[in-house]
Structure 1
Amino acid sequence: MLEERNIPREWVMLALESPDRTEIGADNNIHYIKESHEFGPRTFRVIVNPGATPNRVITFFFDRRLRMPL
């Protein structure tokens, strides 16, 4: 998934290790939210299934609903 979308693995690790915010989704997946200035002011989510062993990253996306202030 990361290679297909040209997403640096470091972004995922950064979100998992030091998120700006976390949320628990309705499906009990954990949403790690991180702000990035690398490609302009953007916010992205890494969604993880905590029930899988080891925990599994489900998806990564830039969340346009959570725009950073300029």
Structure 2
Amino acid sequence: MAKPMLFTQHALDAVAERQLDPVWVELTVFEPHWQEADPGNPDVIRRFRAIPERGGRYLRVALVETSAEIRILSAFLDRRARPK
């Protein structure tokens, strides 16, 4: 069973303002094309996934994962993201 995803207020605002489908966020969290550590905070993970509905641009979801939950910090289409 998947861990629950909890959105910070910032993440909720970002998804709404950027007109991101929450399903895209969920797919990026649970089925990323790749992930990397955030260089500014080792507790934060960045997960990426191409979004065909947005011309194949990559959605970046920043999150903190614990044994009990996945807390979504932010989400946006990253113009500079490239698969590693």
TM-score relative to the length of structure 1: 0.79
- Cα RMSD for the two superposed structures: 1.9
Tell me the number of residue pairs that the alignment of Structure 1 and Structure 2 aligns: 67
TM-score relative to the length of structure 2: 0.67
- Matched residues in 2 for 1:66 and 1:60: separation? 13
The structure that is strand-richer by fraction is 2
Gaps of 5+ in 2: 1-12
Task: Give the drift of 1:5.
Answer: 2.9
* Structure with higher RCO (Cα < 8 A, 6+ apart): 2
Task: Give the drift of 1:56.
Answer: 1.5
Gaps of 5+ in 1: none
% identical equivalent positions:
28
